[in-house]
Amino acid sequence: MPDAMANLASVPDQLSDEEVLMCPDIMSTGFGGAQRGHIQIGDTVAVFARGPIGLCATVGGKLMGATSIIGVETIATRGNVARQLGADHIVDFRKEDPVEAIMRITNGRGVDVAIEALGTQATFEAALRVLRPGGTLSSLGVYSKDLTLPLGAFAAGLGDHTIVTTLCPSGKERMRRLMAVIASGRADLKPLVTHRFKLEQIESAYEVFANQRDGVLKVAITP
């Protein structure tokens, strides 16, 4: 293991492997999005896309003091998990325009922090449009095409907005902190593991995950 002294962290005896399964990747990325957004006590936050990373961003935002979290998602099961993990509102983007819905929920003010956890032009632009003046867009998505900044969404450059990016902060101290959050009971990420397979069933596991069948969020493979 390269740089093992800096990168390997011991799992505390009281935690199971499955409890810390999300720490090195999904939890670290989602929490990183909340941290890079510099969420403060009393903030209103919008999280675009409620996959595992967006769900972890919700948990991280709640821990940092957000008092209202709005999730944008169309899959009902993911919306239900989002509420379980701390979301206060769920906006179904197939039923209504998410920008209009979020502005209505915030009484026209907009959100303090918008977290983009999908990686598309549409979600990036929507996240920008719902920011209040001086708000922050924290981008977690991995984009496959060039992004554009429409004049209106960018407030013609006069909105005093901040755009920040991050992806999966790592290292021994980072893992210690995340495992401490799990051990304290302040974050329960067990709902993210929806399917479990043995190693010899890995092809079936990939088929379920790749096709997003049976309400899958994350799959645990047990050697």
Residue 27, pLDDT above cutoff 90: yes
Report if residue 75 sits inside a domain. Answer: yes
Shared-domain flag, residues 131 and 194: no
Shared-domain flag, residues 38 and 126: yes
Mean pLDDT score, 127-154: 94
Q: What is the CATH number of the domain that holds 157?
A: 3.40.50.720
Domain that holds residue 143: 20-165
Shared-domain flag, residues 100 and 141: yes
Shared-domain flag, residues 66 and 157: yes
Shared-domain flag, residues 141 and 220: no
Shared-domain flag, residues 195 and 155: no
Percent of the chain with pLDDT over 70: 100
SS (H, E, C) the chain: CCCHHHHCCCCCCCCCCHHHCCHHHHHHHHHHHHHHCCCCCCCEEEEECCCHHHHHHHHHHHHHCCCEEEEECCCHHHHHHHHHHCCCEEECCCCCCHHHHHHHHCCCCCEEEEEECCCCHHHHHHHHHCEEEEEEEEECCCCCCCCCCCCCCCHHHCCCCEEEECCCCCCHHHHHHHHHHHHHCCCCCHHHEEEEEEHHHHHHHHHHHHCCCCCCCEEEEEC
Shared-domain flag, residues 110 and 195: no
pTM, whole model, 2 decimals?
A: 0.94
pLDDT tens digits, one per residue of 73-115: 999 999 999 999 999 999 999 999 999 999 999 999 999 999 9
Report if residue 11 sits inside a domain. Answer: no
Number of domains observed in the structure of the chain: 2
Report if residue 8 sits inside a domain. Answer: no
Spatial neighbors of 162 by CB under 8 A, at least 6 apart, are: 135, 136, 137
User: How far apart (Å, rounded) are the C-alpha atoms in residues 190 and 205?
Assistant: 18
What pLDDT is attached to residue 119? 94
Shared-domain flag, residues 138 and 74: yes
Shared-domain flag, residues 143 and 34: yes
Whether residue 117 contacts residue 30, with contact meaning beta carbons closer than 8 Å, is answered with yes
Shared-domain flag, residues 34 and 75: yes
Shared-domain flag, residues 120 and 197: no
Residue 221, pLDDT above cutoff 90: yes
